[in-house]
């Protein structure tokens, strides 16, 4: 039961308890696939957390970064470095922004046991890969130099070719027109 529906005044609670609630509520929302809400709740918890509570800020930032990757709005590398999270997330973010399937898959595989321990591996695979495909398709659009229109149109053949090239032999090259149509529909 959420605090909001229980008619409890969260603002009357001490700041530490509000931060703790925000952390767990954000994790709950993330696992419920309510990613945008989770990012907002986790961001508020991160900013409310005391500066001296570096470990707590790091824990919050881990899940905030995951939510951000899933919405394609990742934190800066400087922030990740400050909390020693660049190794786990830096490569994922870089490859996601590039729209590089093989690179994203390799980066995710490198820390798969760490992400599995957190219970976020499947979320990063499912939602993160969607963002990789979206960025890849956006790059195809830009590279082809198509005119800006109300409804931009790309040929499926170009998208399938981009998927094959981006997979680079690391990801199964099973991209056909039907799979690309399915990706576009989601």
Model confidence at 34: pLDDT above 90: yes
The CB-side HSE value for 51 (13 A sphere, CA atoms) comes to 0
Q: What is the 3-state secondary structure (H, E, C) of the chain?
A: CCCCCCCCCHHHCCHHHHHHHHHHHHHHHHHCCCHHHHHHHHHHHHHHCCCCCHHHHHHHHHHHHHHHHHHCCCCCHHHHHHCCCHHHHHHHHHHHHHCCHHHHHHHHHHCHHHHHHHCCHHHHHHHHHHHHHHHHHHHHHHHHCCCCCCCCCCCHHHHHHHHHHHHCCCCCCCCCHHHHHHHHHC
Q: What is the pLDDT of residue 142?
A: 82
Other C-beta atoms closer than 10 Å to the C-beta of 59 total 18
Q: What is the pLDDT of residue 161?
A: 78
| 17-26, 58-67, 91-100, 160-169: least confidently modelled range | 160-169
Q: What is the pLDDT of residue 129?
A: 85
The 10 Å CB-count burial string (b at 16+, else e) for 14-37 is eeeebbbbbbebbbebbeeeebeb
The C-alpha atoms of residue 76 and residue 82 are separated, in whole angstroms, by 10
Q: What is the pLDDT of residue 5?
A: 56
The C-alpha atoms of residue 5 and residue 65 are separated, in whole angstroms, by 27
- Per-residue pLDDT band at 127 (split at 50, 70, 90): confident
Each residue of 63-118: pLDDT tens digit? 999 999 888 788 899 999 999 999 999 999 999 999 888 899 899 999 999 999 99
């Amino acid at each position: 039961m959420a605090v909001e529906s229980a008619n409890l005044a969260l603002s009357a609670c001490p700041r530490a308890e509000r931060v703790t609630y925000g952390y767990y509520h954000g994790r709950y929302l993330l696992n419920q696939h309510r990613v945008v809400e989770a990012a907002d709740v986790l961001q508020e918890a991160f900013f409310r957390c005391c500066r001296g509570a570096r470990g707590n800020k790091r824990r919050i930032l881990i899940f905030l970064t995951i939510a951000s990757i899933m919405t394609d709005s990742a934190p800066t590398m400087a922030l990740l470095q400050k909390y020693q999270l660049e190794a786990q997330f830096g490569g994922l973010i870089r490859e996601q922004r590039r729209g590089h399937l093989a690179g994203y898959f390799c980066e995710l595989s490198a820390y798969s046991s760490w992400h599995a321990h957190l219970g976020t591996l499947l979320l990063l695979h499912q939602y993160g890969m969607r963002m990789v495909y979206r960025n890849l398709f956006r790059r195809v659009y830009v590279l082809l130099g198509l005119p800006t229109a109300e409804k931009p149109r790309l040929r499926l053949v170009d998208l399938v070719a981009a998927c094959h090239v981006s997979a680079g032999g690391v990801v199964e090259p099973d991209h056909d027109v039907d799979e690309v149509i399915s990706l576009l529909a989601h």
